[in-house]
């Protein structure tokens, strides 16, 4: 990655312009002061827990689809000695994890080779939509699963979120350091149990379902040695 550092001095101020061009994004430092709300991390972002290797992305048109209930049309009337239950697909959340960012577009970076602190501003040049990913056999619709997680943990989630073109963040870049930034959607990890209840009040084997559901859109920044 080629980096251009240009230093402009005036009687009142000193500003740095650092431009990094690479991949699909351009990042730059404009000499403005960061607002102090951006956290610069020391490690690259995780898209999901490394243990969840069998995640499957859920298509947008499948979010409200309710899986079929095997035998749901075979009522207990022909089996008078069996109890009567309403067939149902059941999902129960059991634990809430942390938010993991799924990046949209290439990560950007600025290197400060000057002898002074610089400010780096990164701007999103692509947009994209991120949906839900799950592992395990979910017996309910994804929308019902989301509603259950929201109710239990008092959170507000979405079936999908879209990043905005032109959104930017500004952070400090110390001398001889490289600041990296990635824009994307943070998704909340949740674990739950899914199974089917038959008309005879029997349950199918309970399956553990891990889900990543869009929570909010934002930047992830981290720093390395230049």
What pairing do the DSSP bridges indicate for beta strands 207-225 and 133-135? antiparallel
CA distance 127 to 135: 26
CA-to-CA distance for 160 and 185, rounded, in angstroms?
9
How much is the pTM? 0.78
Compute the distance between CA of residue 161 and CA of residue 158 in angstroms, rounded to an integer. Answer: 7
**Mean pLDDT rounded to a whole number for the chain:** 82
pLDDT at 34 (0 to 100) = 62
Distance in angstroms (rounded) separating the CA atoms of residues 213 and 188: 5
Q: What's residue 208's pLDDT?
A: 96
Q: Residue 182: pLDDT above 80?
A: yes
Distance CA 17, CA 173 (A): 12
Q: What is the pLDDT of residues 93-106, one digit of tens each?
A: 999 999 999 999 99
> Reduced to 3 states, what is the DSSP secondary structure of residue 210?
strand
What would the pLDDT profile of 132-141 be if each residue is shown by its tens digit? 999 999 999 9
Query: What whole-number distance in Å separates Cα of residue 64 and Cα of residue 147?
Result: 11
Between 79 and 18, where is the model more confident?
A: 79
Closest C-alpha to 97, from 48, 158, 61, 143: 48
Tell whether the model's pLDDT for residue 84 goes beyond 90: no
pLDDT surpasses 80 at 80: no
């Amino acid at each position: 990655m080629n980096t251009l550092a240009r230093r402009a001095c005036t009687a009142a101020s000193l500003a740095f312009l650092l431009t990094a061009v690479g991949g699909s994004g351009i990042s730059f430092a404009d000499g403005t002061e960061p607002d102090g709300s951006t956290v610069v991390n020391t490690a690259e972002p995780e898209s999901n827990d490394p243990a969840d290797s069998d995640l499957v992305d859920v298509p947008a048109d499948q979010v409200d689809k309710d899986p079929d209930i095997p035998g749901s049309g075979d009522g207990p009337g022909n089996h008078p000695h069996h109890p009567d239950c309403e067939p149902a697909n059941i999902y129960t959340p059991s634990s809430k994890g942390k938010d993991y960012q799924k990046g949209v577009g290439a990560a950007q970076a600025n290197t400060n080779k000057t002898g002074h602190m610089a400010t780096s501003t990164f701007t999103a040049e692509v947009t994209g939509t991120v949906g839900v990913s799950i592992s395990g056999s979910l017996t309910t619709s994804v929308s019902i699963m989301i509603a259950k997680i929201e109710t239990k943990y008092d959170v507000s989630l979405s079936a999908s979120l879209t990043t905005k073109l032109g959104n930017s963040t500004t952070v400090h870049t110390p001398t001889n350091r490289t600041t990296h930034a990635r824009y994307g959607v943070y998704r909340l990890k949740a674990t739950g149990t899914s199974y089917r209840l038959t008309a005879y009040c029997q349950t199918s084997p309970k399956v553990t379902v891990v889900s990543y559901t869009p929570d909010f859109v934002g930047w992830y920044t981290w720093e390395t040695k230049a």
